Amino acid sequence: MNKRIIEKYALEFEKAFNSYIPQRVCNYSILIDSMRYSFLLGGKRIRPIILMEFYRICGGKDNKALPFAVALEMIHTYSLIHDDLPCMDDDDMRRGKPSNHIEFGEDIALLAGDGLLTHAFYIASQVKDIEPKLCLKAINVLSELSGISGMIGGQVIDLLNEDKRASAETINEINLLKTGALISAAAKIGVILADGSEEMVEYAEAYGTKLGLAFQIMDDILDAVGDEKVLGKPIHSDEKNQKSTYVSLYGIEKCHEMVKNLTDEAISCLKNISVEAGFLEELTRYLANRKN
């Protein structure tokens, strides 16, 4: 796996993020600090990388899709801030650091989340060197898959099934919406901005769905048998919370098989879009074999 490319992308996103938000707003710099804090906590930056790469393999030129990549990651970031709030998962730590509301207070954390979500659409609607029609379509996909029929819908079903032994069907639905939707958004938006065909958009959506599920099953496997040191967080949290997971439903061995099959299917979607998807193929395999 070429980690250099990932690191280069990550730096590019952080630099772009900083240039897209006001550097200093004298009266309320705490809001900007809070938004920046969570965005720059890091993470794998999978979604914006997938967006940029789909744009590239569909013939997109230069870095024109960059604002959309950053907008998507801002939406992912806002969802983590709101998820950590006391009225939601009540998590004090995120990526080894205090959660946003621990660092800045609940009120500012709430507004920082709202601010990141709103600013994502501001950045996306300001793109000048891609056809307005395509930008509008991309904003439509972004708002659909991060909204009530996508990520937010998944969070609601997840909430409603807390402390319940959910069925395999429900778990699939939660993961498709909570994790799969934003990954599909990344892939689809990349294709749309490069003016790819309807067929390519469909393959992109299928890729996101397959990878999203593989990613979530891998999460469950790591929570069951991962190495806490490599993972950077305590394992067995699902068992403790009596949460139904792919592992509790199917067992470790079957889960590994599912990850393998989903990864192969995701990669075959890539091959249907372009012969230049070598890096995306590597990334997809890497995510299926990750240790954290």
* Cβ distance to a copy of itself smaller for residue 27 or 275: 27
Q: Please report how close the Cβ of residue 52 comes to a copy of itself at its closest, in angstroms.
A: 21
91-130 burial: b if 16+ Cβ within 10 Å, else e? eeebeeeebbbbebeeebbbbbbebbbebbeebbeebeeb
3-state secondary structure at position 208? helix
**Which token pair is 58?**
């569909």
* Cβ distance to a copy of itself smaller for residue 208 or 226: 208
* Cβ distance to a copy of itself smaller for residue 191 or 266: 191
Are 215 and 287 in contact by the 8 Å Cβ rule? The answer is: yes
* Cβ distance to a copy of itself smaller for residue 127 or 287: 127
235-257 burial: b if 16+ Cβ within 10 Å, else e? eeebeeeebbbbbbbbeeeebee
* Cβ distance to a copy of itself smaller for residue 113 or 196: 113
* Cβ distance to a copy of itself smaller for residue 115 or 208: 115
Helical ranges in the chain per DSSP H: 3-20, 29-39, 46-57, 66-84, 100-104, 106-124, 132-146, 151-160, 168-175, 181-193, 198-225, 228-231, 237-240, 246-250, 252-273, 278-288
Q: Please report how close the Cβ of residue 108 comes to a copy of itself at its closest, in angstroms.
A: 7
Amino acid making up residue 42: G
Q: Please report how close the Cβ of residue 102 comes to a copy of itself at its closest, in angstroms.
A: 13
Q: Please report how close the Cβ of residue 218 comes to a copy of itself at its closest, in angstroms.
A: 25
Q: Please report how close the Cβ of residue 49 comes to a copy of itself at its closest, in angstroms.
A: 23
Which parts of this chain interact with a copy of itself (CB under 8 A)?
21-22, 25, 27-28, 30-32, 35, 78, 82, 85-88, 105-108, 110-111, 113-115, 117-119, 121-122, 125-126, 131-133, 135-137, 139-140, 142-144, 146-149, 152-153, 155-157, 159-160, 170, 173
* Cβ distance to a copy of itself smaller for residue 158 or 219: 158
Query: 154 — phi, psi (to 5°)?
Result: -60, -40
Q: Name residue, tokens 């900083």.
A: 18
Q: Please report how close the Cβ of residue 182 comes to a copy of itself at its closest, in angstroms.
A: 12
Q: Please report how close the Cβ of residue 232 comes to a copy of itself at its closest, in angstroms.
A: 26
